Amino acid sequence: MVVLQAIRPTSRRAPPGPPQLPFALTVGVTGHRLGALADERVAAIRDEIALALDTIEREALALFEREAGLFAAVPPTLTLVSPLADGADQMAAEAGLARGWRLQTVLPFDRDTYVRDFPEPGAAARFLALLAKSDCVLELPGDPDDDAEAYMAAGRATIAHCDVLIAVWDGRPQRGRGGTAEVVHLAVAQGTPVIHIPADGEQPMALLWSGFDPNVVTRSGDDRGVRQPFDRDLLGRMIGALLTPPPDPDERIFYDRFLGEKVRRVRGRIEYPVLLMLAGVSRMKSSHWRESKCAAAIDEEWLRFSTECSGKHGVSASLHLLERAYGWSDRLAGYYAQNFRSGHIFNFILAATAVLLGLSSFALPASMTLIAMIEFAVALAVIFNTRFGVRHEWHRRWLDYRQLAERLRPLRSLKLLGVAAPDAPGSITNPVPRRWIDWYAAGVWRAIGCPNGTIDRVRAAKLAEAIACHEIAPQIAYHEATAKQIDTLDRRLEWIATSLFVMTLAATASVIVMLQIDPVGVSRMANWLTLLSAGFPAVGTAIFGIRFQGDFGGSAERSRSTAQTLRTIEAQLVGAQGEGGGGDLARSADLFEQSARAMLADLDEWRLVNQQQELSVG
C-alpha cells in the first residue's frame, strides 16, 4: 500500500495569477448487494476491489510525481464515492478508508429512510459507521415506493462525481431500472472508465472505456470494442489521458501562459467601445478601461448566485476554486476581446486614413513632405499594431479564455443539482481532452468533489427555480441584449458605409455636370474632387471591413437563437414539478445539462467563425 502522506508539498510558491489545479482522482463504486453475491465469492471480491484501488493509487501517485509541475503545490487527493449499500458499495468504502482515501457518500433517500432498507442489523451498523466517516453526504429525494428509480439516481450521481467506476457486476443484460447493469451502461456511454469485477468470478477483471474505441459512439458496456483486460500499464495510460493535458506541446505552452497571466489595472485599447459610442449603440463606461470595475461586476454576480442557490435549498458545494478560475478566465477573455476588436478597428481606420493622406498630397502639394511623413507613420503604426497583437496572441487568448469561462460557468449549477454533470471532454466518441481548456475545466469539476446536503422534493423544485432565475435567465438576458446591440451596430455601420458610397455617386455626378458647364473650373479643383471621389469609398470600405471582421449580423442571429433555446429550457425547468409542488430532480438535471450543451454549441460555432479572423495587415 502506498501511503498518501509520503507525497509532500513541493517548495514551489503558488503563482499570483489563475489557480493551478490540485491533483485529484475520484473512484466511484456500483455493484450487487450482499444477498446477490455467492458466499464463496465475497472474500475474493474484497481482494479484487483492494487490487483495483491499489493499482489506481500507484498509477495516480506515479503520475503526480512525473507531472507535479502541472498541479498546485498541495498533496494529491484520492476519494471514493459510494452509495454505501450492503455489498460492493460498503466493501469499496471500507477499502478506500483503510488506504487513507476520502469518502464521499451519495444516498438514494434520506439517511433515516435508507437505513431501513438494509436486510440485517450488521449491514445497517456498518452503514452508519461509514456514514460517520464520510467527508460529505448527499441525500437525494428518492421515493421508497419507486426504489429502482431512486437507486438509478444514486448511480447517476456517483458517475457524475467520479473519474473511474468500479463495478461488481455479473455481466448480464439490464433486467430493470436502477440495477448495476444500467449504471455500468450509463457510465460507459458517458465516457467514464469502468473496472469490471465479475460477481460470479467466471471471467477475469476487465476495463471498459469508450476511449478504447474512439471512432464510434459507444452505447453500452456490452459493446465489444470498449473491453480490455485489466492491466496496470493500460490503466496507467488511461488515468494519464484523463488527468493530464493533451500531449501537444503547444497546449501545455498555452496552459503555462494562462497561469502566467497578470492582473491589469487599465484597459488601454478602447477603440471598440469608442466605436459603439460613436454609432450610438452604447455609452462609454468606466468598465471599458478600468479592470477593477469588471472584476467587481463578476464578484457581484457570483455572490448573488451563491446567496440564492448554494446552501439555501439544502445542498451546497465547495465552489471557491471554480469561482477563482471563472473570474480569471472571464476577465481575461474580456480584456483580450477588447484588445483584439480594437486592434482591427485601429487597422481599418488607419488604412483609410493612409489613403486619404496619399490623395491629400495632390490637393496640398506644398505640404507633400509633411503628409508623406504622416502617412509613413500611419503605415508603421498599422504594422506595429498588427505585429504586437499577433506576438501577444490577442486572438488566441480571447478565444481560449472565453471558451474556458463558458465551460466553467455552468459547473456551479450542475454540481448543486447533484445528479447532473457536464459532458465528457473531447468528443462524443473519444472522452479525452483535446484542448487544455477542456482538461482544465474537467479538472476544476473533479476538484470540487461531491456536493453535500439533503434534497427533498420541495427543495428540488426551489433549487430548479433558483438556478433558472440566477443561471439561465441572466444568460438569456445577455444573449438578447448582445443580439440587439450588435445588430444595431451592424445596421448603423451599413447605413454609414452606404451613405459614403451614395456621396461618392453624388460627387461623381456633380463632376460630370460641372464638366459640361465649367471644365476649366473643374480642372482647377481636380485634386480636391479626386480626394472626395476616392476618399469616400476608402472610408466606406474600411467600415465594411470592420463589419465583415466582426460578423455582427451572424453573431446577433446566433445570440437570438441561443436565447430562444434557453428560454424554452427555462420554462420547462421552472415547470419540472410533480404533485404537491415537489420537484423532479432528474428532469431538472436533464434540462440544465441540455442548457449547458446549447450554450457550448453556440460557443463552438462562434469559435469556428472567429478562428480565421486573425489580426493582419492584409
Rounded mean pLDDT of the chain?
A: 87
Q: Are residues 205 and 122 in the same domain?
A: yes
How do residues 303-322 score in pLDDT, each as one tens digit?
999 999 998 999 999 999 99
Give the model's confidence band at 293: pLDDT under 50 very low, under 70 low, under 90 confident, else very high: confident
Helical segments of 8-38, H only: none
Q: Is residue 429 part of a domain?
A: no
Q: Is residue 278 part of a domain?
A: yes
pLDDT at 6 over 50: no
pLDDT at 2 over 50: no
Q: Is residue 617 part of a domain?
A: no
**pLDDT given at position 150:** 92
Burial code (b: 16+ CB inside 10 Å, e: under 16) for 113-133 equals bbbebbeeeebbebbeebbee
Q: Which of 67, 69, 78 is nearest to 2 (CA)?
A: 78
C-alpha cell at 343: 486592434
DSSP output for 156-185? HHHHHT-SEEEEEE--PPP-STTSHHHHHH
**pLDDT given at position 419:** 96
pLDDT at 176 over 70: no
Domain boundary among 209, 244, 279: 244
Q: Is residue 603 part of a domain?
A: yes
Please report, rounded to a whole number, the percentage of residues in the chain having pLDDT higher than 70: 91
Q: Which of 433, 448, 431, 444 is nearest to 194 (CA)?
A: 431
**pLDDT given at position 290:** 86
Query: What type of residue is 443?
Result: G
Q: Are residues 230 and 280 in the same domain?
A: no
**pLDDT given at position 183:** 94
Q: Are residues 480 and 332 in the same domain?
A: yes
Please report, rounded to a whole number, the percentage of residues in the chain having pLDDT higher than 90: 57
Region 131-137 average pLDDT: 96
CATH of the domain at 202: 3.40.50.450
Separation CA 79–CA 52 (nearest Å) = 14
Highest mean pLDDT among 176-180, 452-456, 541-545: 452-456
How do residues 224-272 score in pLDDT, each as one tens digit?
789 999 999 999 999 999 999 999 999 999 999 999 999 888 888 999 8
**pLDDT given at position 289:** 84
Region 78-105 average pLDDT: 96
Give the residue, 162 or 219, on which the prediction is more confident.
162
For 292-438, list the strands marked E by DSSP. 315-316
**pLDDT given at position 12:** 42
Q: Is residue 389 part of a domain?
A: yes
Q: Are residues 218 and 125 in the same domain?
A: yes
Give the residue, 11 or 259, on which the prediction is more confident.
259
**pLDDT given at position 602:** 77
Give the model's confidence band at 534: pLDDT under 50 very low, under 70 low, under 90 confident, else very high: low
pLDDT at 496 over 50: yes
Q: Map residue 18 onto helix, strand or coil.
A: coil
Q: Which of 486, 477, 478, 479 is nearest to 275 (CA)?
A: 486
Give the contacts of 192 (CB within 8 A, at least 6 positions apart): 28, 159, 162, 163, 164, 165, 424, 431
Region 49-73 average pLDDT: 96
Domain boundary among 244, 279, 310: 244
Give the model's confidence band at 5: pLDDT under 50 very low, under 70 low, under 90 confident, else very high: very low
pLDDT at 536 over 80: no
Domain that holds residue 381: 256-418+455-610
**pLDDT given at position 168:** 96
Q: Are residues 56 and 195 in the same domain?
A: yes
- Domain count of the fold of the chain: 2
**Long-range contacts formed by 490-494: CB under 8 A, 24+ apart:** 490/547, 490/550, 490/552, 490/553, 490/556, 492/279, 492/280, 492/281, 493/279, 493/543, 493/546, 493/547, 493/552, 494/547
Q: Are residues 294 and 400 in the same domain?
A: yes
DSSP output for 408-460? HTTHHHHHHTSS--PPPSS-SS--S-SSHHHHHHHHHHHHH---EEE--HHHH
**pLDDT given at position 500:** 78
How do residues 588-613 score in pLDDT, each as one tens digit?
999 999 999 988 887 787 777 777 67
Region 367-382 average pLDDT: 83
**pLDDT given at position 8:** 36
Q: Are residues 233 and 277 in the same domain?
A: no
Q: Which of 247, 546, 560, 615 is nearest to 398 (CA)?
A: 615
**pLDDT given at position 14:** 46
Give the residue, 598 or 369, on which the prediction is more confident.
598
* Model confidence, pTM: 0.90
**pLDDT given at position 460:** 92
Q: Are residues 144 and 265 in the same domain?
A: no
Q: Are residues 231 and 268 in the same domain?
A: no
How do residues 383-438 score in pLDDT, each as one tens digit?
999 999 999 999 999 999 999 999 999 999 999 999 999 999 988 888 999 999 99
Region 43-47 average pLDDT: 96
Q: Are residues 238 and 261 in the same domain?
A: no
Q: Is residue 94 part of a domain?
A: yes
**pLDDT given at position 167:** 97
Give the model's confidence band at 497: pLDDT under 50 very low, under 70 low, under 90 confident, else very high: confident
**pLDDT given at position 486:** 87
Cβ contact 84:450 at 8 Å = no
pLDDT at 67 over 60: yes
Domain boundary among 219, 244, 269: 244
Give the count of beta carbons closer than 10 Å to the beta carbon of residue 466.
19
Q: Is residue 307 part of a domain?
A: yes
**pLDDT given at position 178:** 65
**pLDDT given at position 581:** 55
Q: Are residues 336 and 198 in the same domain?
A: no
Q: Are residues 197 and 327 in the same domain?
A: no
Region 14-34 average pLDDT: 90
pLDDT at 555 over 80: yes
Give the model's confidence band at 533: pLDDT under 50 very low, under 70 low, under 90 confident, else very high: low
**pLDDT given at position 9:** 38
Q: Is residue 439 part of a domain?
A: no
